[in-house]
Chains A and B, each alone.
Chain A
Amino acid sequence: MSFDFAVILAKGPQILAGLGVTILIWIVGTLFGAVLGFLVATARRYGGRLADLALSVPVEVLRGTPFLVQIFLLYFGGPYIGLRLDPIAAGLLGLSVYGAAYYAEIFRAGFQSVPPGHSEAADCVGLTRLQTILHVQLPEMALLVLPPSMNMAVILLKETALLSLITVPEMTMTVQAIGSQQYAFVESIVVLALVYWALVELANFLGRLAERRLSTYSA
């Protein structure tokens, strides 16, 4: 058995296009997920007991079930209740909602880490609830939530590979298609693995850089 990587590398532009879709879905999905997660965490903290209880259900369900089952439910089950999405929209929605559940927990821990005296003090000097959240609590929890947030972003990057199973034309699906066209399955998957590996290490590196930058500000 000999391996021929040239046939895969000849398809460079196609692979790059797939990589572009992967990165786009990853970044947009992560941002949506983080914002939605922050809103959920804020609602759970300030929306009263009922909101806290009501929001804990979707968070626990999303965290307790496989992402693969969630996107299958959304993409194949959605049309039966009138939710007809194309693969990219379904993938983006699925990734954002899945990420939001984890980000909600990250920010919940963040809110708990801010000493209550600080938000009370902000209240006393006349800051509104929104100002307190944005200008006191968010900056104070930043250092604590950054490492798990970056970690989660990397997990979401790897989860985007599953979107190939609902035919999102991202990198895994693109490279697998090239592999079957060229009859070079092993070579294609090796290239795919190496690209993901590099991407994840790069994301980890940027995460550590961001942590170092942030910790010098707050020291």
Chain B
Amino acid sequence: MTWTLFELLLQASLMTIFVSVTSIFLGLAFAIGLSAMRMSGAAPLVWFARIFISFFRGVPLLVQLLLIFNLLPAIGLSLSSLTTALIGLSLCTAAYQAENLRGGFEGVPRGLIESAEMAGLSPVQSFIWIRTPIALRLTFPALVNEAILILKSSSLVSVVGLIELTKMAQNLAASTYMPLPIFASAGLIYLAINWIVAIAGRRAEIALPGLPAK
């Protein structure tokens, strides 16, 4: 195991970080949309959200990625491996984040929703300005957790051909016949990134503005 090999792994980990961060935030946006659908009261939207969440939480991410990778070209959409990876990861994390947000939305104090209504906010305004920020604040620890899960899951996008940390490790292991030190180093890099995310998450949880009184 030389420094050059380790440097290649570090470079590839930038792609891992990029894909994970982008998917987490895209997924968060989708998840808020799914939550809005689920709470809209309109049967087709509620059912769409339910089935979407159940499917993406019920099928292994590997299979989801293979599905997107094979399905989109078959219907005439040919996408780069980066786009495929981002779509797959964001849809999957959206379903998990929507499930996390459910608890957050349930935790929004009723009095606040009623005050928003009394102050003349429409249901949509109340959703955007009152309920969503509070739900996000309440579920912040779950978001940090999900970020760590996605960082680990991003190793699977190697199957759609994107060169990130795991794929780079596979390539190097195959070309140098040193799988042991290379996969161990890749694991250590994942571990280091996860530690940073976990520590930053705990700091942020303390630093963020306080939780509303129950």
Contact = CB atoms under 8 A, between A and B. Distances in A.
Interface of A: 1, 60-61, 64-70, 72-73, 76-77, 80-81, 158-162, 164-165, 172, 176, 185-186, 189-190, 192-193, 196-197, 200-201
A4 B152 CA distance: 35
A1 B191 CA distance: 44
Name the interface size band of chain B.
Answer: 35 or more
B104 to A, nearest CB: 19
Contact of B183 (A77, A176, A185, A200): A77
Given A65-B190, A67-B152, A196-B63, A80 B159 contact: no
B67 A162 contact: no
16 contacts: A1-B74, A64-B152, A64-B191, A68-B158, A69-B190, A72-B179, A73-B187, A159-B60, A162-B62, A162-B156, A165-B159, A172-B60, A189-B66, A193-B63, A196-B58, A196-B59
A200 B60 CA distance: 9
A159 B190 CA distance: 18
A77 B180 contact: yes
A196 B71 CA distance: 18
A2 B130 CA distance: 47
Interface string B169-210: 110010000011001101100110011000000000000000
B143 interface: no
B60 A158 contact: yes
Contacts of A201: 54, 58
Contacts of B195: 64
Contact of A189 (B54, B61, B70, B169): B70
Contacts of B67: 186, 189-190, 193
A218 to B, nearest CB: 24
B76 A77 contact: no
**Most chain A beta-carbon contacts within 10 A, residue among B58, B159, B173:** B58
Contacts of B75: 1
Given A1-B74, A61-B191, A73 B66 contact: no
B70 A185 contact: yes
A165 B61 CA distance: 13
Interface string B75-109: 11000000000000000000000000000000000
